Structure 1
């Protein structure tokens, strides 16, 4: 089965005209991404010491653009937003389950090194920064049923980003892209409730972002 899956990709590489990624080129990509938080949670304090939260995965589209400043150095900016839910793990909050949801917008800029700029397969590695904004935070119905009306807010985050990927030519200007990123994202969630007062929990999200898509050289 793996051989059958690999044959079309191998054939595409063999027939594709070698493309060049050189100084001045703009590479536009459309990816589908899976964002998988690698979270570490503190306790929900002060009311629920020892009770931590988990954050679910999310799948969304992403658009990014890379400008080749030289034949080997490019700068990539990504634009994507994903929605995630935080749930209790144990104890009182675990019994409630889903606590809150939020949209996450992490504009990320990376500087990339492209060791191979000609030929049908062109890998790259990158490093850079991300500034993550949390918006449209919302308490779950289960949480509000337990503790009354709740207002949720999450602090924005500034951190680093690491990246690795490869472009594989399908035609002279269109290519397949595979990409993985690691984003350093930390936040503090504040839940202001009617019954339990103000509760806070620190969360290191630190997600892996897996992407696959197509790109075009402009």
Structure 2
């Protein structure tokens, strides 16, 4: 009887020792969501953005005609979502204005007008994560630029710059101070060439405004 009891206890002990790791694994499973929460995929940046245009364009049918545009500095907000630690999508939001001037062979005609510009840009980025706090990235995407609150100047009337799509290329880096805060430097090239029309007296003009701006920004990064 005593041997049977010892044998029973030994069997129970073996079952317990075998089952314990599995039970512990099951108990520790709920920790996974906490680990995932530590890597929130959302990020925002606030930047001061310099908009530097290419200053090219033309009026159809006038040889040597050209256009130029004012450069500006404006605040900018972008929102990023990280699909993985390396792959992210970034949406850039900001607005600025541009003064449009004649140039080249039509420089004497002066200022054409002024327009406000809203160029939301979506890029897909690859982030390099092997350099510690220094985290460079490259990106490419699409831009849709809307021109609004357009006004005429001088002898020009009915200026209308059409909304247009364009491609975008990007390079930049974050330097992370801690898990949440960092410093950012970013450069984008937008390929932006919009059709435009305007009246000069009784003459209807049309052409292409080749802004193709560089967007150079610097600011702060916050990761949730």
TM over 0.5: yes
1:23–1:109: structure 2 CA closer, same or farther, 3 Å change rule? farther
2:135 is matched with 122
Structure 2 residues without counterparts, runs of 5 or longer: 1-37
Residue 132 (structure 1) aligned to one of 129, 132, 145: 145
Residue 204 (structure 2) aligned to one of 195, 198, 205: 198
1:61-210 matches, cutoff 5 A: 61-91=75-105, 93-116=106-129, 119-140=132-153, 142-144=154-156, 150-193=157-200, 195-210=201-216
Residue 49 (structure 2) aligned to one of 20, 33, 44: 33
Question: Where is the helix percentage greater, Structure 1 or Structure 2?
Answer: 2
Q: With CA pairs under 8 Å and 6+ residues apart, which has the higher RCO, 1 or 2?
A: 1
For 2:130 and 2:150, locate their aligned partners in 1 and report how far apart those are by CA, in whole Å.
Answer: 43
For 2:149 and 2:195, locate their aligned partners in 1 and report how far apart those are by CA, in whole Å.
Answer: 15
2:30 is matched with none
Q: Normalising by structure 2, what TM-score?
A: 0.77
Instruction: Please state whether the residue corresponding to 1:95 is helix, strand or coil.
Output: helix
Count of aligned pairs: 187
Aligned-pair Cα RMSD in Å:
1.8
For 1:45 and 1:160, locate their aligned partners in 2 and report how far apart those are by CA, in whole Å.
Answer: 24
Structure showing greater radius of gyration is 2
Q: Normalising by structure 1, what TM-score?
A: 0.79
2:33 is matched with none
Structure 1 residue 117 displacement after superposition: 6.4
Structure 1 residue 118 displacement after superposition: 7.0
Structure 1 residues without counterparts, runs of 5 or longer: 1-21, 145-149
Structure 1 residue 206 displacement after superposition: 1.0
For 2:168 and 2:113, locate their aligned partners in 1 and report how far apart those are by CA, in whole Å.
Answer: 26
Structure 1 residue 69 displacement after superposition: 0.5
* Large movers: runs of 4+ above 3 Å: none
For 1:117 and 1:79, locate their aligned partners in 2 and report how far apart those are by CA, in whole Å.
Answer: 29
